[in-house]
Amino acid sequence: MKRILKVGSKTYNFLKGCWLFVRGSWRAYSIFWKAVGALFLCFLTLAAPVLIYIYLYRSDLPDVKSFINFEAPTIGVIYDKDGRVVIELANEYRRIVRPDEIPPIVKQAIISAEDGAFYSHNGIDKWAIGRAFYVDTFHSIKSTVRKGRPNIAFEQGASTITQQIVRLYFLSDTMANERKDVLISDSFLSKALSKVLGPSRTNRLFRKLEEARIAIWLEKELAKPEYFGSKQTAKEEILARYASYAYLKYGRYGVEAASEFYFDKKIGDFGPDDADKAALLAGTIKNPTAYGPSVKPSKLELQRQVNRRNAVLDLMVENGYILKQDVNNFKQRDLPIVIPGRTKTIAPSVVGDIFKELRRHSQNSDDLFNGKIQIYSTANLKIQDIVNHALESGLKAYEDRHPEAKGLIQGCVIVLRNSDGAILAQSGGRQYFKGHPYKYSDLNRVTYSIRQPGSSFKPLDYITAFENGWTLDQPVMDIPVHVAMGNNRPAKTISNYDGKYKGAIPLRVALAESRNAATVWLVRANGGIDQVIDVAKSLGIKTELQPYITTALGASEVNLLELANVYRSIASGSLAEPYMIERITDRTGRLIFSNKRKEPVPVPVKEGVLQLIQEGLRGVVRLPDGTAHSLDNKDFGVAVMGKTGTTNDFKDAWFIGATYGSEGITVGVKIGFDEPSLGYDESGNFGTGPARGLGNKEAGGRAALPVFREIVKKIYDRKLVGPAPAFPEEIEKSIDIYLGKK
């Protein structure tokens, strides 16, 4: 009653003052004050029809069921094989919270900041409307006097939480269009008012009326037995939706997503001692840009944010939610430090490839960004972390040898599961490039970088020979071989890495020591390059290969993924297409896609060929002069096969290797400069120009193999796959016999 008398007294005094002021100025400003008086009378005259419209008009109401069933955009998540988050993606970073998941302290902060009478009103707060009417009328008269024409000023809002929900859900289109200089409603009244107020203010006035009308209807409707059954339950549902929908800066929607971003804390873990955090979140809603925490805020920004939080804390005291003696403690606490980039991932190229695969499965990436689907991938973040570290270590080791190349050298890595081609990890490029730290590589070099693989292509030459009946101990000729270059250019003599020729040597030695001349001789002895190209295609090489004899030495460009997949097929004996998506579910967990793998298809080679090439590649490691013999030691401790790759002028360094069988893994590594013209010339000068590369002696065994070694050793030491399969006894025994071991 005291409150009613107080407001009534203030209103009476205000109206009396207005009347005396108008009467005293009537003669001097009769025309002007008639306009002001007319404006004031408009407020009073419209009150009755407005109340009728808000409370009684029930036509053209929206569908409440669509509101109840509405699923707001949330966060789409890509998971690794063990359920760890690879990345969260969203147009609106939002986590939906149910009424019972919001702690009391958070509800109290929101209510104090936004709608103190939330639990008692019926959708609109009549006292707040009266207060706003009083303030807005005063400022409208003041604005009219200042501008010399009728003008309505909306200085104080009276929107309840329910009205804000109505605005967000039912009237978002109206909000988007109301500031345009075109009337949304074409009614007689709106046209008449627009003559005085202008279209945008008329639109806003009508939207506020509609907002109030729907808010009253919505609360009443939701309380019906067929929906939530009571006013209290309906209120809790509205509050939960508000807490999930509200924008809180940095792309975060709802208190859950905001709390995780600002405090690294789930909203459900908030207790009474988190009143300062709850007040900050609640205070941010009103104006996220001004009141939300910032990255490196200025003193003015910080003070504004602190003041807003403290104002909400004072309101919580006023409403009896926290004790007055405790509020100073909360006010003394610092605001959170905002760290940009928390949504990045350690596996950017994995994410990029998943999007490509998503399109192949006719799935819409927008569904992921709206949280409608969740993706479970084959990636293993623990392996990914190893890959990232090993690649960075390998590149830094190269930079230590070549300081001029610091920040310019690049590389990429792929890890495949032998059994089915699942991609366990990949790095499309280093995380620090050209001096700038970043998480997202501009280029996935695993798939998009097409380069000459050098000697890592040679297994395909030897498979072709085995297909034609050759054996590992059959002699091949390591002698000068001349290759026609065409266009009247002189013939080129194929040379070996060491500049020497060994004459007749066993085929296994030619492969293990990567003898170029012997390899070209062997390919010619088996009918030329065309058959090698056919074998390459049958094992999964998709990039077009040039029909020149130098293709046998890796002169035709391929990407790392397709060549690594050839090695995987050799190790496992089966063909498979590399993939990353295991399954896709909707937001409720219902399965909507499962990547059902086909039965393994055996590699299309003759009987015995697979074992011969496996033994040959195992010999690259075990033979004393093999290019990967450094892996044949107890410290490494993993039985592998593989092949180095070094291109002309040391342009790129490759190593691809695998552990044995379908239970093993395949790892491919490539190191090089992105710019083909960048690097060292024959004299060791760094810069740009023709015939430049990684530098003298920077072969695959030196630049790429150490990265492979670190990855494979750590994967098996940490038991992330495995145990490491042994090679068949007959393969190891055959190599022992050649080496003269018992």
Does 154 have pLDDT greater than 90?
no
Residue 577 main-chain phi, psi, to 5 deg: -95, 125
- The count of other CB atoms within 10 Å of the CB of residue 296 is 9
Q: What is the pLDDT of residue 340?
A: 64
Q: How confident is the model at residue 537 (pLDDT cuts 50, 70, 90)?
A: very high
Does 128 have pLDDT greater than 80?
no
Q: What is the pLDDT of residue 173?
A: 77
Q: How confident is the model at residue 713 (pLDDT cuts 50, 70, 90)?
A: very high
Does 7 have pLDDT greater than 60?
no
Q: What is the pLDDT of residue 709?
A: 98
Higher-confidence position of 320 and 4: 320
Q: Report how far residue 497's alpha carbon sits from residue 506's, in angstroms, rounded to the nearest whole number.
A: 18
CB 147 within 8 A of CB 243: no
Q: What is the pLDDT of residue 201?
A: 76
Q: What is the pTM of this model?
A: 0.80
Helix (H, G, I), strand (E, B) or coil at 340: coil
Which CATH number is 248-331's, of 3.30.450.20, 1.10.3810.10, 3.40.190.290, 3.90.1300.10? 1.10.3810.10
Domain borders along the chain are 2-71+101-237, 248-331
Helix (H, G, I), strand (E, B) or coil at 586: strand
Residue with tokens 């009918």: 527
Tell me the residue length of the chain: 742
Q: Report how far residue 612's alpha carbon sits from residue 555's, in angstroms, rounded to the nearest whole number.
A: 24
Count Cα neighbours of 663 within 13 Å in the Cβ-side half-sphere: 10
- Weakest mean pLDDT among 9-13, 75-79, 85-89, 207-211: 9-13
Find residue 413's DSSP bridge partners: 427, 669
Q: How confident is the model at residue 155 (pLDDT cuts 50, 70, 90)?
A: low
Helix (H, G, I), strand (E, B) or coil at 696: coil
Q: How confident is the model at residue 267 (pLDDT cuts 50, 70, 90)?
A: very high
Encode pLDDT of 179-204 as tens digits.
Answer: 677 777 777 667 777 777 777 777 78
CB 487 within 8 A of CB 508: no
CB 394 within 8 A of CB 707: yes
DSSP H helices in 103-230: 104-114, 126-147, 161-169, 172-177, 188-197, 199-222
Does 1 have pLDDT greater than 60?
no
Q: What is the pLDDT of residue 19?
A: 54
- Average pLDDT on 29-33 reads 55
Q: What is the pLDDT of residue 437?
A: 45
Mean pLDDT in the chain? Answer: 87
Higher-confidence position of 448 and 127: 448
- Average pLDDT on 249-254 reads 92
